[in-house]
Amino acid sequence: MNRLLQDTFTKELPQDPTVENTRRQVEKACYSLATPKKTSNPKLLHVATEMAETLGISKEFIGTHEFLEIVTGNKVIEKSKPYAMCYGGHQFGHWAGQLGDGRAINLGEIVQDNQRWFLQLKGAGETPYSRTADGLAVLRSSVREYLCSEAMFYLGVPTTRALSLSLTGDQVLRDMLYDGHQAYEKGAIVCRVAPSFLRFGSFEIFSVRQDYKTLKTLVNYTLKYYYPHLPKNSKASYIQFFKEVTERTLTMIIHWQRVGFVHGVMNTDNLSILGLTIDYGPYGWLEGYDPEWTPNTTDRQHKRYRYGNQPNIGLWNLYQLANSLYPLIEDAEPLEEILEDYKTNYGLSYLEMMRAKVGLFSKHELDSELLEALETVLQKTETDMTLFFRLLSTIHKNDTPAAAITKIKPSFYTPSALKGTVLTRWETWFTNYLKRVQNESLSDVERQEKMNKVNPKYVLRNYMAQLAIDKADEGDYSLIDELYTLLKNPYDEQPSYEKWFCKRPEWARNKVGCSMLSCSS
Ligand code: AMP
Ligand code: MG
């Protein structure tokens, strides 16, 4: 890990001249130096070996005490300058001012196989951006971030990654449900990895403060390393930059909708400039298909970040980014055009993605209607999204509607609702669907094979993560490893893990951590 010497971020961007670790407003700087807090009794719980390999970190080194010390913040790698990034953000639709890495400390950059990776310790203690909080993270939220970021990667969803999950040996005080009941929990650190942790809010902060000089420096830096194909530092390249960020954001959200992932806190400080899923907090997975669902208790009332609203919020956030870049471009029209195109492109990409999910690989003008009807009927029987789409691939062209319903029925949470008009609606839907499938040139086997590449068999259901957390809390980390292994091949049949291909058990319906989560982490 001594290759952490390449440090473009700290070398090329302005540094906060104050070096004390005191909370403050940091002006005209992209980062502040910050040293991770010493941990009292660190313990490595899990290492993502594939991620380590990608970084060029050897198995031998992972086994050393030095590795443990580095990923838990006790050892600062020679010549590296750990730091926290300055950013702002719109939270729940309102400008929140300076936020920044309040509990994430960047170790530096590794370049391996021409790919730049930033390493960051989440939960490593206070920084100038910690505001009123402690800079720490607890085991439950760390297990969730660790498992989910890797699971998303294997699902093919653009995401930040994780290298390791550790306990700090320290206790952390949290009010998990925000109901006045504080309790100590085990402290933990995830070593996160990403080509960049820059967010929309990284740019917004300078624009809001009218510090266009730093804004320009940061945009030029981003272009140099992440959009090198764009012409250098001109208005035209800034417009193109915005266009590409828009496209990447759209692609990411299409993937979220495809796998049923609900981010939960799509504030602009949680949207990556590279279109990566970032900051796994009170996220969740759709179980019963429901566009109105949000996992985040803080958002219970307005449901701003509900599943069905993610594309709109993506666009809303892009508007904020466009506003931030405007001072460098001084022409609203091209930005507005890009934002307009997002709407059209989203519609087209969504249709394409949904066609693939139901196994239609040619186009028909009535497909939108067919898919809309499906989204309605899925909710009538409270249908498990993951199970439904996977079981749909087992249907044959020549099945009767009744036979098709029997095949997908295990995905219903309320099979008793399958009567009267609901039954008729399902029968009608399958009659239309089967007719449509009969016009496809693919055989049943070929269609199934293609469908199974876009419809995962296994996702990190909310209750699964909670089971792993409950065991880990008792000192048993086996389920973390089991889920990690399972989710490395989410599209494959894994007979020994068939127990995870099932609906959420009833006990988990309203259990904390299994259905709704607070931001407390
Ligand atoms: P989030 O909604 O988790 O993305 O966090 C929003 C902001 O709060 C970011 O600036 C975080 O760094 C900060 N934050 C969240 N939790 C903590 C914590 N325990 N200590 C310090 N800062 C925190
Ligand atoms: Mg965040």
pLDDT in tens, 433-444: 999 999 999 999
What residues flank ligand 1, with Cβ below 6 Å?
99-103, 129-130, 133-136, 265, 269-270, 279, 281, 519
Instruction: Give the other-Cβ count within 10 Å of 447's Cβ.
Output: 22
What tens digit of pLDDT does each residue of 344-386 get? Answer: 999 999 999 999 999 999 999 999 999 999 999 999 999 999 9
Is 124 in a helix, a strand, or coil?
A: strand
Residues 66 and 36 in one domain: yes
Instruction: Give the other-Cβ count within 10 Å of 454's Cβ.
Output: 21
What tens digit of pLDDT does each residue of 416-475 get? Answer: 999 999 999 999 999 999 999 999 999 999 999 999 999 999 999 999 999 999 999 999
What residue numbers bound the domain in which 327 lies?
211-356
Q: Say what the pLDDT of residue 5 is.
A: 62
The DSSP code sequence of 388-426 is HHHHHTT--TT--HHHHHHHHGGGBS-GGG-SHHHHHHH
Residues 288 and 260 in one domain: yes
Q: Say what the pLDDT of residue 492 is.
A: 98
Q: What is the pTM of this model?
A: 0.98
Give residue 78's pLDDT band: very low, low, confident or very high (50, 70, 90).
confident
| Residues acting as catalytic residues | 269
Ligand nearest to the CA of 128: 1
Residues 218 and 324 in one domain: yes
Residue 20: both structure tokens together: 């004390």
Q: Phi and psi dihedrals of 480, rounded to 5?
A: -60, -45
Residues 170 and 191 in one domain: yes
Residues 481 and 442 in one domain: no
Name the average pLDDT for the chain.
96
- For a substitution probing ligand 1, which of 26, 99, 121, 192 has the most ligand atoms within 8 Å of its CB? 99
Q: Say what the pLDDT of residue 51 is.
A: 98
Give residue 178's pLDDT band: very low, low, confident or very high (50, 70, 90).
confident
- How many domains would you assign to the chain? 4
Q: How many whole angstroms from its chain centre is CA 328?
A: 29
What tens digit of pLDDT does each residue of 92-129 get? Answer: 999 999 999 999 999 999 999 999 999 999 999 999 99
Query: Among the three residues 418, 451, 484, which one is the final residue of a domain in this structure?
Result: 451
Instruction: Give the other-Cβ count within 10 Å of 428's Cβ.
Output: 13
Q: Say what the pLDDT of residue 1 is.
A: 67
Q: Which atom of ligand 1 is nearest to the CA of 281?
A: 3
Give residue 520's pLDDT band: very low, low, confident or very high (50, 70, 90).
confident
Query: Among the three residues 451, 476, 491, which one is the final residue of a domain in this structure?
Result: 451
Give residue 4's pLDDT band: very low, low, confident or very high (50, 70, 90).
low
Residue 8 included in any domain: yes
| Calpha distance 476→143 (Å, rounded) | 13
Residue 469: both structure tokens together: 């957390």
